[in-house]
């Protein structure tokens, strides 16, 4: 089993952590650029339209990060 080699497993973990970190940082930047607090609007005020926009934005960022890492 080639995927069980330590260097392949370690590389996968490192790239996964790098992807999550890049996504998290980009989400925080976008949150700061918007004129309102995304968490407050989505969770407390139940703004479903904004939640859908943020979900689409998150998927877009994830696709870009995955393509860059690949």
In the chain, where are the structural domains located?
Answer: 14-69
The stretch 43-65 carries a mean pLDDT of 91
**Cβ-count burial of 15 within 10 angstroms (0-12 exposed, 13-18 middle, 19+ buried)?**
middle
Tokens 């859908």 belong to 52
The residue with greater pLDDT, 20 or 3, is 20
What distance separates the 2 farthest-apart alpha carbons in the chain? 51
Distance CA 19, CA 51 (A): 22
- Tell me what the pLDDT averaged over the chain comes to: 87
The stretch 15-35 carries a mean pLDDT of 88
């Amino acid at each position: 089993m080639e995927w069980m080699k330590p260097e392949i497993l370690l590389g996968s973990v490192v790239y996964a952590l790098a992807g999550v970190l890049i996504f998290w940082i980009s989400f925080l930047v976008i949150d700061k650029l918007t004129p309102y607090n995304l968490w407050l609007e989505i969770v407390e005020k139940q703004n479903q339209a904004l939640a859908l926009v943020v979900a689409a934005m998150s998927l877009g960022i994830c696709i870009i990060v995955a393509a860059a890492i690949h």
